[in-house]
Chains A and B, each alone.
Chain A
């Protein structure tokens, strides 16, 4: 087990509000990675834009802090071209489920070996308080003054519908259990979604620490290998129930992308260590003479 301090980058001017759920996610993730013995030099964090997407800046590791909503395609490619890297794609609910919604769907279909952490606070923080795809009906904002009228996006139900290979939700108020879920997700070979509920202390006065405590509960006696049961637990909230927490679904039979694509079948080296095969190229050119 590594000392989690290997992930501490030293003193930085952090852009999060005091009391923000992001601090908890940062600490828990550092602990989980240390407990998994992941060398920071083999860790790549990929993020988009938003307050959550700044997390890699407060981490000692490689990072690709790209465009709003576009973390997943970059993370997919990074994991495809170098299988030795631990790749974590993390960002907020607006980034992953809104701007990047299409990439969310199709990355699940690809099943790359990445962990997708979504900081879900049901509001836009960095743009100052508009509704996010997961904002609940009736939630009032400067852009939705009469309250949100759209159906909230249900990431877990969507992921299970797409047969994502690992689907979990947790609440950052529960640090220890969150850490354990993250460890399982990171160890999981293939795509793993961890939706982390967190309060936004500045722009979401409804879904507070207290609210999450009162409106969530841990799954018990649930078999995560049962996809139908998982889906039915994932839609409880749409039916007016509380938000279940825990590992909803695992499909251990899904083949991760790199294996399905056969990239490392005959050559285990990451792409950057390979070179073009001149003899094969000559052979291919020869075939164009006929």
Chain B
């Protein structure tokens, strides 16, 4: 790479062991590059350990919006030996490798351009080798033409409250790094010129899991009992961090069984609870999930997928718990499954989940995955203009019947302590009041009453999004977190005859599903699992035949290039 860098975005990868500062550099870079007006995207892959191993963070810095991972590496910052080997498959002749020479010289394939920077030596001269990371941030800032005051301002804010010596020395470190970077730019060794975009300044930068958290707060969530489990833990942390200010009760449960029963107790008494976990935790929740069906309780479940079975790959990604969400829970009762594709959807759909659950008295899933949870980029601020939580419980009168048989199947939901009626719910089959019954004809009517609520879920189902709107011969079908990756892949592919259909709601399907998919000759379903679970769902519930599948189940997210390659194989 040199001054002739002509892409609209630059792919920067940081690689090193856990605990070595990848995250520090990443977070600093994101802040300063965004301040400079660049679009920014970051995703990480990491091992299930606290120290050591080898992790990497992939950043994209753009003059245009970037929201998908690529394989290509334009600039690789190596923080330790072993780093080059860890990402060797992504290095090409256009990659520039940056770091301490002894960290990469042994592993470097020939023909790759390397730049040796004595980060530790520079940092030690300033006062402490721990400042290496700050030096790196200064250097990369200069290479991206970030103005020096932005970098200094960052240091000032980042180390605010620390002793003056630390602030001063970090300032020196960032200046030293900046000088190194300028040297590279001036000598033509490394110079990345991207056009800043004035829109970026007013945009937000957020992780997927935080967007879910925001959606929860906007949806009126005020109770979470949860057991920590990657990759769902970020939601518990988010709500714990902000809970007090927003009046959210946050309790770390002893297990997932307790967590979901707590959430049901909270809904019963008029609060809005969320159960948040990953596949293994949700397996434990299945009994409580079925209870939600029987109690006709609203419930929101955030299920952040990771590869299974069992413990699987705890810190990696997969979309293989769709069947789990679809079929979990003994007995028959309706449910909805929402699967956000990007940050805006993570916010909107989580918020929507609370309203939908409350209105229809059903459990609603927000199905995410490690990739979505741990990925962040800049986006327009969420639209809070119409955030208004409307509760759907009623003030009860004497003689109130929680499970009154009505024409629609929905019985007005009362809560204890609000009105003159008694709110009685039971996990046994029950009569209209909520008392145990073994009246078998009543049983039949109660089953029908519970199932009847599915028609509301279908009426309110979110339609799949089709790009472009015109008729296409080939359609790529995807759901959940793969949306931006497929979008960019189709742009790269650049074929007029290929379109995209994305499902932000995977169950129940919107009634337009079959007609939308029928227009194409080829229907390619892309999903992050081995069984083609969504393709099966489309067959079972919309009678749509998928003609081709693109599946991935190694624990890594799809990349743009990979999707392009696999589409080319199919669309020869």
In contact, A78 and B268 (Cβ under 8 angstroms): yes
Q: Given that A62-B424, A80-B249 are known contacts, is A290 also in contact with B31, CB under 8 Å in the complex?
A: yes
Between A and B, 28 residue pairs with Cβ closer than 8 Å are: A42-B416, A44-B269, A62-B416, A63-B434, A66-B291, A70-B261, A72-B258, A74-B264, A76-B262, A77-B264, A77-B269, A78-B266, A81-B271, A82-B270, A102-B257, A106-B258, A271-B269, A275-B388, A275-B389, A276-B246, A278-B384, A281-B214, A281-B217, A281-B384, A288-B204, A288-B206, A289-B203, A290-B35
In contact, A82 and B416 (Cβ under 8 angstroms): yes
Please give the residue numbers on chain B whose beta carbons come within 8 Å of chain A beta carbons, in ascending order.
31, 35, 201-206, 210, 214, 217-218, 220, 222-223, 225, 242, 244-247, 249, 251, 253-255, 257-259, 261-266, 268-271, 273, 287-288, 291, 295, 381-382, 384, 387-389, 391, 393, 415-418, 420, 422-428, 434-436
A61 CA / B220 CA spacing, docked (Å)? 28
Please name the residue on chain B nearest to A269 by beta carbon: B247
In contact, B247 and A110 (Cβ under 8 angstroms): no
Interface hits, A46-91 → B, CB 8 Å:
46, 49, 54, 56-57, 60-67, 70, 72-78, 80-82, 84-85
A256 at the interface (CB under 8 A from B): no
In contact, B425 and A285 (Cβ under 8 angstroms): no
Please name the residue on chain A nearest to B252 by beta carbon: A106
A270 at the interface (CB under 8 A from B): yes
Q: Given that A63-B425, A67-B427 are known contacts, is A271 also in contact with B249, CB under 8 Å in the complex?
A: yes
Interface size class of A (residues with CB under 8 A): 35 or more
Residues of B within 8 A of A78 (CB): 265-266, 268-269, 416
A44 CA / B266 CA spacing, docked (Å)? 13
A11 at the interface (CB under 8 A from B): no
A57 CA / B264 CA spacing, docked (Å)? 19
A235 at the interface (CB under 8 A from B): no
Q: For residue A88, give the distance in angstroms from its CB to the closest CB of chain B.
A: 12
Q: For residue B1, give the distance in angstroms from its CB to the closest CB of chain A.
A: 29
Please name the residue on chain A nearest to B393 by beta carbon: A272
A64 CA / B257 CA spacing, docked (Å)? 16
In contact, B246 and A272 (Cβ under 8 angstroms): no
A56 CA / B423 CA spacing, docked (Å)? 12
A255 CA / B257 CA spacing, docked (Å)? 26
Q: For residue A202, give the distance in angstroms from its CB to the closest CB of chain B.
A: 19
Residues of A within 8 A of B387 (CB): 276, 278, 281
Q: For residue B321, give the distance in angstroms from its CB to the closest CB of chain A.
A: 22
In contact, B220 and A275 (Cβ under 8 angstroms): yes
A64 CA / B434 CA spacing, docked (Å)? 9
Residues of A within 8 A of B291 (CB): 66-67, 70
Q: For residue A129, give the distance in angstroms from its CB to the closest CB of chain B.
A: 21
A105 CA / B420 CA spacing, docked (Å)? 35
Q: For residue B384, give the distance in angstroms from its CB to the closest CB of chain A.
A: 6
Residues of B within 8 A of A85 (CB): 269, 416-417
Residues of B within 8 A of A63 (CB): 422, 424-426, 434
In contact, B254 and A80 (Cβ under 8 angstroms): no
In contact, A65 and B427 (Cβ under 8 angstroms): yes
A14 CA / B165 CA spacing, docked (Å)? 76
Residues of A within 8 A of B381 (CB): 285-286, 288-289
Residues of A within 8 A of B255 (CB): 102
In contact, A80 and B223 (Cβ under 8 angstroms): yes
In contact, B417 and A73 (Cβ under 8 angstroms): no
Known: A102-B257, A272-B417. 16 other contacts (CB 8 A): A12-B435, A42-B417, A57-B424, A67-B261, A73-B259, A73-B265, A77-B264, A77-B269, A82-B417, A103-B257, A263-B249, A270-B269, A270-B270, A270-B417, A275-B389, A285-B204
In contact, A65 and B422 (Cβ under 8 angstroms): no
Q: For residue B293, give the distance in angstroms from its CB to the closest CB of chain A.
A: 12
Residues of B within 8 A of A76 (CB): 251, 262, 265
Q: Given that A81-B270, A272-B418 are known contacts, is A73 also in contact with B204, CB under 8 Å in the complex?
A: no
Please name the residue on chain A nearest to B220 by beta carbon: A276
A162 at the interface (CB under 8 A from B): no
In contact, A284 and B242 (Cβ under 8 angstroms): yes
In contact, B251 and A41 (Cβ under 8 angstroms): no
Residues of B within 8 A of A277 (CB): 245-247
In contact, B425 and A81 (Cβ under 8 angstroms): no
A107 CA / B512 CA spacing, docked (Å)? 48
A72 CA / B11 CA spacing, docked (Å)? 51
Interface hits, A94-117 → B, CB 8 Å:
102-103, 105-106, 110
In contact, B247 and A103 (Cβ under 8 angstroms): no
Q: For residue A91, give the distance in angstroms from its CB to the closest CB of chain B.
A: 12
Q: Given that A70-B261, A105-B254, A272-B418 are known contacts, is A81 also in contact with B223, CB under 8 Å in the complex?
A: yes
Residues of B within 8 A of A161 (CB): none
In contact, A74 and B268 (Cβ under 8 angstroms): yes
A6 CA / B5 CA spacing, docked (Å)? 82
Q: For residue A44, give the distance in angstroms from its CB to the closest CB of chain B.
A: 5
Residues of B within 8 A of A42 (CB): 416-417
Q: For residue A108, give the distance in angstroms from its CB to the closest CB of chain B.
A: 11
Residues of B within 8 A of A282 (CB): 384
Residues of B within 8 A of A290 (CB): 31, 35
A16 CA / B255 CA spacing, docked (Å)? 33
A40 CA / B428 CA spacing, docked (Å)? 23
Please name the residue on chain B nearest to A65 by beta carbon: B426
